[in-house]
Structure 1
Amino acid sequence: MTNYFDSPFKGKLLSEQVKNPNIKVGRYSYYSGYYHGHSFDDCARYLFPDRDDVDKLIIGSFCSIGSGASFIMAGNQGHRYDWASSFPFFYMQEEPAFSSALDAFQKAGNTVIGNDVWIGSEAMVMPGIKIGHGAVIGSRSLVTKDVGHCCKVSDEAAFCLIQRPYISKTLLTVRISPVGSP
């Protein structure tokens, strides 16, 4: 299998590799996926490229995304834990027993990554999460709640370990996002 990346020390701009129309990227953000060998589109899980009625993945400018990071999309993917069964029967319409099943899909909302965000290798961001400008997401973190501006989160709990108020005030005052970025 040919690796999409030439070196572990050189990422590729998202603007050069994203093909899915439901992924919107700002300027100079990059993905460094050498150790996983695939382009960034494969990091957005369950995001249908052929539908425009689904949640979007919106990534700001100057973001750095490590190898194997994943963004879980498509809301609940048809699994309703508040129903009698969490099984997504609707997605098996070809089975006669499921032909009249209700669609259990629920949107989570767009997943939005601010500007100047660093997301470490194999971090996982759940559906509908908002990550503020200047945030740092540690490797293998599981992000299940929104992350504020300039917060550093780590581990499976992914709560704000360090707030960087001096950085936050400066960056947000000078508006780190260039013209035309999300």
Structure 2
Amino acid sequence: MHNIPNPNIVFPNEYKTSCYIKNVITAPNIFIGDYTYYDDPVDPTGFEKNNILFNCPDFGDKLIIGKFCSIACGTQFVMGTANHRINSITTYPFNVFGGAWEENTPPHLSQLPYKGDTIIGNDVWIGRECVIMPGVKVGDGSIIATRSVVTKNIEPYSIVGGNPAHFIKKRFDDEFIELLLKIKWWDFEPQKLLDFLPLLCDPNLDNVRIKLKSIIYSK
């Protein structure tokens, strides 16, 4: 029996700086896929408290992160309740301070703009100290450069960076991306993935393309 890493443990290796974060999440509106890790030399298991900001499940938005994502130290996900009302002459949140202010203003959550769920695909690499804003959708296989602020959706297998993050280039050509999105290796069973690892890590992309086509079109 192969010693395949267990996605249901907190620390996957001896260094204990990388944490499989699905195993330390408690909020009902946060969903993390298998093998997605957060790396932090100080407090990797504090991801929910330190890196998911302004989360209020009652507001209705979700944070969904796929499988096999690599999230570097300091990355933060901003949830919808971080926003302020912007459809009136003031953005000040009078309601949250109680008393007569609360009695004379609409409920706070009902005034906030709703951006929807924040969804990160599979096999996404997020560099150090990035900020992901509410409602953003990040496609499978994307790379987000260090200290980027992501305010818009990112297509699969794109490289983006900057503040606000802008498109830099595609990682592969359209045909190759289509093959990767069809194969969906992140959904493989453990033994099948183990057998597939040499191809996943092969730098000879021409060889990978040929083998992917063979696998997909021979079905």
Task: Identify the TM-score tier after normalising by the shorter chain.
Answer: 0.7 to 0.9
**In the alignment, which of 51, 56, 75 is matched to residue 69 of structure 1?**
75
1:96 aligns with 2:100: yes
What is the TM-score normalised by the length of structure 2? 0.71
More helix by share: 2
Q: Between the two proteins, what is the percent identity of the paired residues?
A: 32
1:176 aligns with 2:185: yes
Higher RCO (CA < 8 A, seq sep 6+): 1
C-alpha contact 1:75 1:128 (8 A) present in aligned 2: no
1:152 aligns with 2:156: no
* Cα separation, partners in 2 of 1:83 and 1:53, compared to 1, 3 Å: closer
Deviation at 1:35, TM superposition (A): 4.9
Structure 1 partner of 2:145: 138
What is the TM-score normalised by the length of structure 1? 0.84
1:39 aligns with 2:43: no
**In the alignment, which of 35, 56, 60 is matched to residue 54 of structure 1?**
60
Deviation at 1:154, TM superposition (A): 1.0
Deviation per CA, 1:2-50, whole angstroms, max 9, x where unpaired?
xxx89878411012221222110111101012256662102110112xx
C-alpha contact 2:55 2:81 (8 A) present in aligned 1: no
Structure 1 partner of 2:197: none
**In the alignment, which of 72, 75, 89 is matched to residue 84 of structure 1?**
89
Q: Separation in 1 of the partners of 2:180 and 2:23?
A: 26
C-alpha contact 1:117 1:134 (8 A) present in aligned 2: yes
Q: Which runs of 5+ in 2 are unaligned?
A: 1-10, 190-219
User: One-letter code of the match for 1:177?
Assistant: W
The number of residue pairs the alignment matches comes to 173
C-alpha contact 1:8 1:34 (8 A) present in aligned 2: no
**In the alignment, which of 111, 119, 141 is matched to residue 118 of structure 2?**
111
User: One-letter code of the match for 1:45?
Assistant: L
Q: Separation in 2 of the partners of 1:8 and 1:139?
A: 23
Deviation per CA, 1:48-92, whole angstroms, max 9, x where unpaired?
2xx344200000000000111001002553x12231100112222
SS at match of 1:71: strand
Q: Which runs of 5+ in 1 are unaligned?
A: none
Deviation at 1:97, TM superposition (A): 3.2
Q: Separation in 1 of the partners of 2:93 and 2:76?
A: 22
RMSD of aligned Cα (Å): 2.5
SS at match of 2:160: strand
Deviation per CA, 1:120-171, whole angstroms, max 9, x where unpaired?
1110000000000000011110001001101111121311101123452332
C-alpha contact 2:20 2:36 (8 A) present in aligned 1: yes
Structure whose CA Rg is larger: 2
SS at match of 1:147: coil
User: One-letter code of the match for 2:28?
Assistant: P
* Cα separation, partners in 2 of 1:37 and 1:24, compared to 1, 3 Å: closer
